[in-house]
Amino acid sequence: MADEKKLSVAEVRKTIASSLGTAFGFVIALVWTNLVLGGLELAKAPLTKPADAGQFVIGIVVALALTILMIILIIVIGRWGSKQ
């Protein structure tokens, strides 16, 4: 009975970790999608664009910072989820 409960807790942790990792990846994708579309517009492609090059650079910095943060969280949550 104790082994079943321990296995169940491990499964729940693994599922939560996987779901959070996926959610963080989705946030990264959304940030980069908007930034790439803005960059294409800045290059005169017919898409939405930032007001100027300064905003584009700020967007890159924000996207990089969020990417690094989300990757760190994916690693931490993945390690937490794999604990038994």
In angstroms, rounded to a whole number, what is the distance separating the alpha carbons of residues 23 and 25?
5
Q: Is residue 16 part of a domain?
A: no
In angstroms, rounded to a whole number, what is the distance separating the alpha carbons of residues 8 and 18?
15
**DSSP letter assigned to residue 46:** S
Please state the domain count of the chain: 1
Residue 72's identity, in one-letter code, is I
3-class secondary structure, 61 = helix
- Give the pLDDT confidence score for residue 44 in this predicted structure: 61
pLDDT digits (tens, 9 = 90+) for 16-54: 888 888 898 899 888 888 887 777 677 665 555 667 787
Q: Is residue 55 part of a domain?
A: yes
- Domain span holding position 79: 32-84
pTM over 0.75: no
